[in-house]
Amino acid sequence: YSAHQYEKLKKLSLTGNRLILNMSSAWVPPFKLNTIDLRSCRMGPRFPSWLKAQRGFNYLDIYDVGILDMIPSWFPNASYAADYLNISYNQIRGEISTSLKFLNATVIDMSSNLFQGKLPLLNA
């Protein structure tokens, strides 16, 4: 299979399968997803850098995917349009950026991680 066969892919849902997603940190996906639903797959221990290329997604669920890493500086720019964001039950650490804004968010779940610092205004 050629990766370019998936250029038009908009939704990726692999939830609950315990699949191991082993992507190189240099991998840039040929698609731009709106929905990323990978709950309980194995993606860690590093924060998946390929998500940076998915800037503007509206749904992200990476609940319990085994991330043991700092929240990357690019994450606020990638997740600004999310109306559903679940990054809970990982071991993501660091301060939540003041630039983290969820303009359309109806659900934000960042529980059971290792965040610290002040919570920025949610819709400033």
For residue 45, is the peptide bond before it cis, meaning its omega torsion is within 30 degrees of 0?
yes
pLDDT digits (tens, 9 = 90+) for 33-48: 999 999 999 998 999 9
CATH 3.80.10.10 at 1-124, yes or no? yes
pLDDT tops 90 at residue 103: no
Rounded mean pLDDT, 8-19: 93
Report whether pLDDT(1) > 60: no
The stretch 11-39 carries a mean pLDDT of 93
pLDDT of residue 18: 86
Strands (E), 4-122: 11-13, 35-37, 59-61, 84-86, 93-95, 107-109, 114-116
Q: How far, in Å, CA of 109 to CA of 6, rounded?
A: 29
Asked whether residue 22 carries a pLDDT value surpassing 80, the answer given is: yes
Angle at 44 between CA 42 and CA 48, to 5 degrees: 105
| Mean pLDDT (whole number) for 21-41 | 93
pTM of the model: 0.90
